Amino acid sequence: MALPPGRLMAAIFHHRANAVFRVVLVLLFGTPAVAVAGLMLLGRSPLGTQEQTPRSQPVQFDHRHHAGDEGIDCRYCHDGAERSAIAGVPASDKCMGCHAQVWNQSDKLALVRRSYFEDRPIRWVRVNQVPDFVFFDHSVHVHKGVGCVTCHGRVDRMPLVAKATPLNMGWCLDCHRDPAPHLRPREQIASMTWTPEGDPRALGEKLMREYGVRTRTTCTTCHR
């Protein structure tokens, strides 16, 4: 005698089969979604963007002393920032301009002296970098009123320089959509401590008109 369909299925499958099947479906479709979401969150976290991670350099160079205590302008060492796409790092002869007289026997500066006399560049470790497929021009940003501290943070407080901002697409677009709050007078570009007087937005909008700053969100602005 044939069993009714309901009793036949019950005889074949365990009573927990439906629950097990639902769990399998959740794991099958949910695990990839959770993994993708986790990777996206990781990529946006300081761990993924490598923010606040000090980078050791071949020579112990303390920005707190040079940019903070001595008040050396960023553009003295990174002299390409105003005139080219790349800010650059100083050649050893610029370092020796001071250190031929100051600390000229220090073991800590032995590599600088060797680099100078052998005419070999020091292999500094890059801290801030955008991908090769991104076009970025330091000189444009400097002349439009974007201060060094906006992207690089308070380097005058860093014994070892660390990446201060994510420099990812979303972060850049936030500024490109609304540049006004991020602008300052050109004469204050390298100041680590400058703060606007009055309404920052009103000043920023005034500088936008003076410097010809426009919102730029088209793909070809950065991807050429």
φ/ψ of 203, rounded to 5, equals -65, -45
Q: Which residue has the tokens 């500024």?
A: 175
51 beta partners: 163
Instruction: For residue range 161-218, list pLDDT tens digits in order.
Output: 999 999 999 999 999 999 999 999 999 999 999 999 999 999 999 999 999 999 999 9
Q: What is the CA radius of gyration of the chain?
A: 28
199 close to 187: Cβ distance less than 8 angstroms: no
Q: Which residues fall within 8 angstroms of residue 43, CB to CB, at 6 or more apart? A: 49, 168
pLDDT at position 8 is 45
* Residue 13 reports pLDDT greater than 60: no
Per-residue pLDDT, averaged over 21-46, amounts to 65
Q: Which residues fall within 8 angstroms of residue 146, CB to CB, at 6 or more apart? A: 175, 179, 182, 183, 184, 189
> How deeply is 112 buried, as exposed, middle or buried, from its count of CB atoms within 10 A (0-12, 13-18, 19+)?
buried
Alpha-carbon distance of 179 to 201, in angstroms, equals 9
Q: Quick one: tokens of 90?
A: 């100083």
* Residue 139 reports pLDDT greater than 80: yes
Instruction: For residue range 93-121, list pLDDT tens digits in order.
Output: 999 999 999 999 999 999 999 999 999 99
pLDDT at position 50 is 77
Instruction: For residue range 39-97, list pLDDT tens digits in order.
Output: 555 555 666 677 888 999 999 899 999 999 999 999 999 999 999 999 999 999 999 99
Per-residue pLDDT, averaged over 16-29, amounts to 69
Q: How confident is the model at residue 3 (pLDDT cuts 50, 70, 90)?
A: very low
pLDDT at position 38 is 62
pLDDT at position 37 is 63
Q: Which residues fall within 8 angstroms of residue 194, CB to CB, at 6 or more apart? A: 147, 184, 188
Pairwise pLDDT comparison (200 vs 35), residue with the higher score: 200
Alpha-carbon distance of 154 to 171, in angstroms, equals 18
